[in-house]
A and B are shown apart, each in its own frame.
Chain A
C-alpha cells in the first residue's frame, strides 16, 4: 500500500549543554510517520524520547541545540522555520497533548476560554459565538459531560481524566495533521487511562489524524500504535510494526523491556530482566550504547557503531547480534504461591471495622470544624506471618490511608487494629520501641523518603541504633548485610541518595526497613515511581524477601499485574470500601465483583490486543447509604444498589464478594477470563 509520508525525521541529533559537558540526548534518529498512522516511541526515562517529541513541534529547551538532521513535515523542514512560522504551525497543523494536564491548563482561566483562544489565534472562528459553538462541539467530541456548560469550569473543578480530555480537545481544535502525545495517560488511574485510550482510538478512526505517542509503557502502545520505535540512550534501536515487535522483538533491549512487564496471568519470563540501568557514562564512545547491559554482546559491539538496518519488511534494528538472539521462551506461570501459612495460624495483624477520616480531631475540633469525608469505611482484613496481602484500587480509594492507620500516623475514628493478638495503640506515641521496630513503612517515592543530606550508611545506621542498640563497628556488619540483602555492594554506604538511580534508592529504602528486622512491611506503591525494567528487579527482590524472611507485607498498588505476581491474598478497595477479598488466584478468576472486573478489563496488556468493555463512562458514584460503586457499576441491579449496602457473599474458597448480585450471576457476566492471552489461567483448577 502506497501511503503518503506525513513526517520524516532524518538523522536528528539534539545536544544539551556545551563543550566537554555536552550531552547528546538524541543521536542520529530517523523515522517516518505516514498519514493516518500512529507511531509509538518507547524507552526508559532519560532515553531522549520527550526531547525528540518536542522537537517535532520545533520546540526545544533553551540549553538544547540541534546538532544534525532534518525534521520534514509535509515538505517543510521544521528546523529551518522562524518563530512566526513555527507559531502558525504549532497548535494548528501539529499539536501536543502534554503529560500532566493539571499543570498544562491555566488554573486562572475557564477551560472553554482556553480552548476558544486556540481557535481565535489560528483564525478558526470568525466570531465569539462561532467559537463558543465550536468549543461545545469539541468538548462533545472528546466525551466530556455537559459539553455546552463544562467550558465555564476551571481546571481544578475537573477530574484528572476530564482535564486530559480538555487537553485533547485543545490539541484537536484546529484539526491538525499530526498530534504528538507525551505520556498522556501516565498520571491517570488505570480505568481512566483505558477511557482516554479508547477515546484516542476512536478519534483516530474518525478524524484520520496521525499520532506520535510517547510513553514508557509498552502495554499502552500495544493498544494504540501501528508501529513502534524503541529508543535507548538517544538512539533509535528498533522500529517494527507493533504486533511483530511484541511477538518477535529483535533488539536485546526491546526484549528486556517486554519481559520486564509484569503479566496479568502471573507468568514471567525468568532471567530475562534487563541488567543494571542506563548510565550515560558507561556507554562506549563509539559502539553500541546498550553494550554494557547486553546479554548477547560480543567484544566488537563496544567498538562498532550500530545503525538501523532493515531486517524484514517494515522492520529495522540497530544490532549486529540480532540473529544470535535466542528465540523468546514461552512465559511460564509463576509457581503457585504456596499458602504462606495454614489457616489455623493466628493472624499477625488484624484490622476490624476500621473507619478513618481526615480532618479536625478531638472533641474541640469536632465542635468547631466540619468533619472531613470518611476515607475508609469499616474495612476488615487480616494478614498472617509471611503472607503478602495486596490492597488494590484507584487513587483516592483509601489504600494508603489504611496503611497509615496501621503505622500509627492516623488514629482511627472507630474500629480496632490488633497486632499479634494485642490491640495496637492508635498513635505512635502509645507504641513501644519494639512495636515500632516490627512495623516498617516503605514509601512510594524514594526521592522523598531518603534524606538527601545523609549518606546511605547514616540512613541505614539510624534504625539500627534506635531499635537494636547497634552502633559503630557492631552495626557495620549489619549494614553491609542489609545492603547485600537488597543486592547492593557495600561501596554504596558512602554514597548520597542523589548518587543513586531510582531503583537503587528504592532498594536503600527497603534496606532501611529491613535492618529493623520487621515482621510487617507496609509497602505503599513502592514500584510505581520506577521504570519498568527497574520495577522488575525490585519486584524480584520483594519476592526473594518474602521467600527468605517470612516477613508479612501489606502491599499497596494500583497495578494488578504486579499484584498478581507477588501477593498471596488481595483486597479490592473502592472509595474506602472493600468489595472483594480472597486468595490471589481466586480474585483473578471469575466470579468478579463488577469493580474488580472493570479494573482487570482496563489493564492495557502488552501481550494481547485489546477487547473493548462496556462500562458506563464517567458516571459518578452516588454517595449515601447504598453501594459505593452504584452509579458507576455496569451491572447495576436497580434501586436496591443505591439504597442498601450490599451483603458479603461467599464465592467459594476463601473468596468473598460484596455485591447485591448473586455469585452465579457475577460469574456469568464476567467477560474477562483470566490470563493475558484470553485463555483461562494455567495451573488453577476451576472452582
Chain B
C-alpha cells in the first residue's frame, strides 16, 4: 500500500525518470495505445473516405496502396472505415468498463465493510451472475432490453458494465476485507461515520491501486467483448464502423479479399495487445502481479 503519491503537476524531469524506470511492457503497451488514441482522435479528419461513403473503388478489390485494407461488398474503403471506427470502439470499451468499475467498486467495498447478511446476499447474487457465461449474459440482457434499444451505444455500454461489475465487486470486496482490519477503520467506526462515508474516505483511497489494475485488465478485454457483440449482430447497428461488426460483415470475403477482415482484426488485436501490455506494466509498478484475466 505504500505507493508514493505522485505530485499533481509532474515536471518534465520526473516524467523522464518515470519513463526510464518503467518496465518494458509498459513502454511498448503505452506506445501502441498512444498510436491507437491518436488514430482514434484524428482519424476522421484525415481518412481518405467517409465512414459509410460508397463508391470508393470496385467492390471486393484486394488490398492495394490506395486501399490498404481493400474494398468491401458495398464499395466502401475498409481502411477509412477502420480509422473512423477507432474512437467508437475505444469509447464503448472504456465507458462500459468505467461504469462496471464504479458499480462493482461501490458494491464490493460496501459489502466488504458492512459484512453480515448484506454481504451474504450481495455476494451470492454476484456469484450467480458470474456463473453465467458472459456472452450468454450479454445476449440475455440485450434481448431483455427489447428492440427499441438494440444497436444503441448505451445498451452496449450497459452490457459491458453488467458483465464486469460483479467481477470487479469481488476484487473490491477482497481488497476491502484487508483494509477493514486496519485501525484507522476502527477509528472511523468509533467516530460514528456512516458506511458510505467510510467507503468514500477510508476504503476507496486505499483500494485505488487494486481498482486501477482492475480497470486496466477489464478495459483490455472490453474491445473483444464489444467486438463479439458486434460480430454476433447484437452490438452496434450497421453501418457503424465498429470493428467487430465489420469483421462480421466481411467474413464472407475472407477468401476473396482477406484484407477486409484482417484489417479490422489486426486493429482490434493490436489494441488489445497494447492494453494488456500496458496493464501488466502498470500492475508491476503498483507492486502487484496480476494474472491477466482471460475472461
Contact = CB atoms under 8 A, between A and B. Distances in A.
Interface of A: 407-409, 428, 431, 433, 436, 439-441, 443, 445, 448-454, 462-463, 466-467, 496, 498, 512
Nearest to B208: A453
B206 interface: yes
B187 A428 contact: no
Contacts of B208: 453
B201 interface: yes
From B1, B182, B184, B186, residue with most partner A Cβ within 10 Å: B184
A496 B189 CA distance: 21
Contacts of B189: 409, 428
Nearest to B179: A451
A443 B191 contact: no
Contacts, number: 57
A451 B184 contact: yes
Size bracket, chain B contacts: 20 to 34
Contacts of A439: 190
Contact of A441 (B2, B190, B205, B206): B190
A466 B22 CA distance: 42
Interface in B169-185: 182-184
A449 B192 contact: no
Contact of A466 (B4, B192, B206): B192
Given A451-B184, A462-B188, 16 more contacts: A408-B190, A409-B189, A409-B190, A428-B190, A433-B192, A436-B190, A436-B191, A436-B192, A443-B186, A443-B187, A448-B183, A448-B184, A466-B191, A466-B192, A498-B4, A512-B187
B201 A462 contact: yes
B186 A409 contact: yes
Contacts of A463: 191
Nearest to B184: A451
A462 B1 contact: no
A443 B183 contact: yes
Contacts of A496: 5
Nearest to A522: B190
Contacts of B184: 448-451
B152 interface: no
Interface of B: 1-2, 4-5, 182-184, 186-193, 201-202, 205-206, 208
A220 B98 CA distance: 57
From B186, B188, B191, B208, residue with most partner A Cβ within 10 Å: B191
A463 B187 CA distance: 10
Nearest to A451: B184
Nearest to A459: B184
Contact of B183 (A449, A462, A498): A449
A467 B191 CA distance: 8
Contacts of B191: 436, 462-463, 466-467
A445 B183 CA distance: 8
Could you tell me the dominant secondary structure of chain B's interface residues? helix
> Can you list the 8 inter-chain pairs with the closest CB atoms, starting with the nearest?
A453-B205, A449-B183, A443-B183, A448-B183, A451-B184, A448-B182, A436-B192, A449-B184
A428 B190 CA distance: 7
A433 B184 CA distance: 18
Contact of A451 (B4, B192, B205): B205
A466 B193 contact: yes
A451 B186 contact: no
A450 B184 CA distance: 5
Nearest to B186: A409
A606 B186 CA distance: 37
B196 to A, nearest CB: 14
A452 B2 contact: yes
A91 B174 CA distance: 41
A462 B191 CA distance: 9
Contacts of A408: 190
Contacts of B205: 451, 453-454
Contact of A452 (B186, B187, B192, B206): B206
21 contacts: A407-B190, A409-B189, A409-B190, A433-B192, A436-B192, A440-B190, A441-B186, A443-B186, A448-B183, A448-B184, A449-B182, A449-B184, A449-B186, A450-B184, A451-B205, A451-B206, A452-B1, A453-B206, A466-B191, A466-B193, A512-B187
Nearest to A404: B186
Nearest to B2: A498
Given A433-B192, A436-B192, A466-B192, A449 B2 contact: no
A618 B256 CA distance: 86
B201 to A, nearest CB: 7
Contacts of B186: 409, 441, 443, 449
Contacts of B187: 441, 443, 449, 512
Contacts of B5: 453, 496
Contacts of A498: 2, 4
B193 to A, nearest CB: 7
A251 to B, nearest CB: 33
A139 B137 CA distance: 62
Contacts of B182: 448-449
A442 B2 CA distance: 22
From B187, B193, B202, residue with most partner A Cβ within 10 Å: B187
A496 B183 CA distance: 17
Contacts of B1: 452
From A436, A448, A463, A496, residue with most partner B Cβ within 10 Å: A448
A454 B182 CA distance: 14
A390 B192 CA distance: 27
A436 B189 CA distance: 10
A215 B64 CA distance: 76
Contacts of B183: 443, 445, 448-449
A282 to B, nearest CB: 20
A370 B244 CA distance: 58
A682 to B, nearest CB: 39
A448 B2 CA distance: 12
A449 B189 CA distance: 12
A462 B197 CA distance: 11
A428 B192 contact: yes
Contacts of B4: 498
B277 to A, nearest CB: 27
A451 B199 CA distance: 12
A409 B191 CA distance: 11
Contacts of A451: 184, 201-202, 205-206
B14 to A, nearest CB: 15
A443 B201 CA distance: 20
Contacts of B190: 407-409, 428, 436, 439-441
Contacts of A433: 192
Contacts of A453: 5, 205-206, 208
A440 B188 CA distance: 11
A400 to B, nearest CB: 11
Contacts of B206: 451-453
Contacts of B202: 451
From B2, B186, B193, residue with most partner A Cβ within 10 Å: B186
From B2, B5, B192, residue with most partner A Cβ within 10 Å: B192
B106 to A, nearest CB: 18
A510 to B, nearest CB: 12
A452 B171 CA distance: 20
A511 to B, nearest CB: 13
Nearest to A436: B192
A64 to B, nearest CB: 20
